[in-house]
Amino acid sequence: MPNTPLPFNAADFPVALWGLLGLILVFQLVGLVQRVLLGAQLRRLEKSLERRRKEPSASVEERAPSGSEDDSGGLFEAYLDENPERRMLSKKEQFDGFRKWRNEKGLNWSK
């Protein structure tokens, strides 16, 4: 087996070793920074998903008619039941009378 010369001599080895160690250290630091950033993103995503899980129950409540919507239909019926002659009026006259009746009772539409 013939002795072939190495591409670098023994004096260059410590320099190459320090260069490789420095490169490994840089890659380790880059990996650490990436893990920290990904962890922060993961926490934000988890919080976002948690909020979204809670929203459907709130949105179902929002879709359900509020008390004022239920009451307005019930109140209109109560208005008509107070005086049976009101049912004989035209729709326009019924609604005009209903508005006046609500104002007299102190009820407003924002309830």
At 24, the amino acid letter reads I
- Per-10-residue mean pLDDT of the chain, 111 residues long, equals 67 79 96 96 92 68 49 78 88 91 79 51
Give me the pLDDT at residue 69, please.
45
Give me the pLDDT at residue 37, please.
96
pTM (predicted TM-score)? 0.37
Residue pair 109/68 in contact by the 8 Å Cβ criterion: yes
Give me the pLDDT at residue 39, please.
95
For 3, which DSSP code?
Answer: -
Integer Cα distance of 27 and 47 in angstroms: 30
| Rg of the chain taking only CA atoms, in angstroms | 39
